[in-house]
Structure 1
């Protein structure tokens, strides 16, 4: 079984007479960069990018008569056309979703005069990874409960590591997913409030060796890193006033330290990603 959600994670209802049957999710395909060099044995490997992953769903449409069947068929066409890009969830793992779209034409397979099945091919869009339906700040603010469907029992959450708001200069950010969170293409928001610094206020991930350095003074302003956009107070896009680097979060523990200034609170908001 599966459920559909719009991009605001509001459930999309199926038309009356339509029952979701099953979902089949494939592995992630890769695009690999290689080169053959004359006079040298083998193929040079320059790495790969994740491409997409196939998803297939099956539906059952049950009408009361031939006319009703055709109306239900058209309602299925309409719901998938209205929601061009949407999220899909396996109901057995309700805490994760894939972002998908349908580009291929599909046609119902008539079972009886009044009933038909749909076999529909989807593909992932923007991200090939399962992502948690919740953010780390939702997890922090509401508190983790192993019985809560929202947070699931299989997301590798450690109930002793669900703190994502910090007031000390040394702390640990726990990434429960098995994918590195990278701000270039994934949600990663870091906000340090009431920053007092003469220069070089630094947020350093000691685990990865990455750091963001603010190369200007701050007199109690909020220092924000929203993906690739960095701002200070009301000044947006101050990338050139930094060391022009970003921070990622590896799976597991990420040890952080804050240098060359004080702050009231720093918080990390992201979603857990799974292959």
Structure 2
């Protein structure tokens, strides 16, 4: 198991005389809003939301003697007990990571040789996410990026930068990418005399920017915001968002000619 800090520093628990025995990743908890209706048995489900998830990891420490245990205990406490969030990466699924915080206090039972113990992690972001973003994908094996997973094969012609008005964007995770909650950056360059619209026919979403774009301009749609050459143009949009469904997303750009459009996001996993 790997611990990755927000600054990118990685620590392998094996370097702390720890062995990863098992880990348990439960399904995400759901919260339901139920409305009662007179004369009707039961209620009507008005809304359902994902709430929380706690990952439990069973670890084994190995010490040379009881004095070594005392030193190791302090290192283990410092490794997991952090106020700031950090990522955990399981070597069996090295293409994804979970942003977590320590769920509650844990205890490393004294033993002069070895002992197992459990640590619980509360997911800050309830979904797992791909180690790299779509703009970091490479077509060669990179052991430091762990790009490949069960959804990506060597034969896939993956690309997330296009020079066409008609394109298909693949979301290889199993969660819808929603810019209100998740990373999504779209950068558009081209020639659009008076307006630009992007239609995702897969989801039905339509984004419109009412303004001109020349070859020297860059329109950036980042999260819920829109920028032209770094300045906010949100008021000049239709104030709608583009989401990416699981699988292929067929997009059409109208209003002019695209010279370049890129999509940067991470795959998310339930």
Q: TM-score scaled by structure 1?
A: 0.89
Alpha-carbon shift at residue 84 of structure 1 (Å): 3.1
Aligned to 1:86: 86
Residue 83 of structure 1, CA deviation: 6.5
Q: Which whole-Å CA distance do the structure 1 matches of 2:267 and 2:128 have between them?
A: 8
Distance change >3 Å, CA 144–CA 190, structure 1 → 2:
farther
Q: Alignment length, in residue pairs? A: 268
State the 1:264 CA deviation. Answer: 1.8
Tell me if 1:133 matches 2:128: no
The question of whether the paired residues in 2 share the 8 Å contact of 1:6 and 1:83 is answered with no
Contact 2:167 2:251 in 1 (8 A): yes
Q: What residue number does 2:265 align with?
A: 270
Question: Equivalent residue for 2:5?
Answer: 6
Partner residue in 1 for 2:69: 69
Any stretches of 5+ residues in structure 1 without a counterpart?
Answer: none
Matches within 5 A, 1:1-275: 2-14=1-13, 16-82=16-82, 84-110=84-110, 112-125=111-124, 127-139=125-137, 142-143=138-139, 150-156=146-152, 159-193=155-189, 195-220=190-215, 221-236=217-232, 238-275=233-270
Unaligned runs of 5+ in 2: none
Does the CA-based 8 Å contact 2:196-2:208 persist in structure 1?
yes
Structure 1 residue 13, shift from structure 2 partner: 3.4
For 2:269 and 2:250, the matched residues in 1 are separated by 21
Report the secondary structure of 2:135's partner residue.
helix
Contact kept, 8 Å, 1:223 with 1:233, in 2: the verdict is yes
Task: Provide the TM-score with structure 2 as the length reference.
Answer: 0.90
Give CA-to-partner distance per residue, 1:127-156, whole Å, 9 cap, x none.
2222111111112xx226599971234134
Change in Cα spacing, 1:44 to 1:253, as seen in structure 2 (3 Å) is same
Q: CA deviation at 1:82?
A: 3.7
Structure 1 runs (4+) deviating above 4 angstroms are 144-149
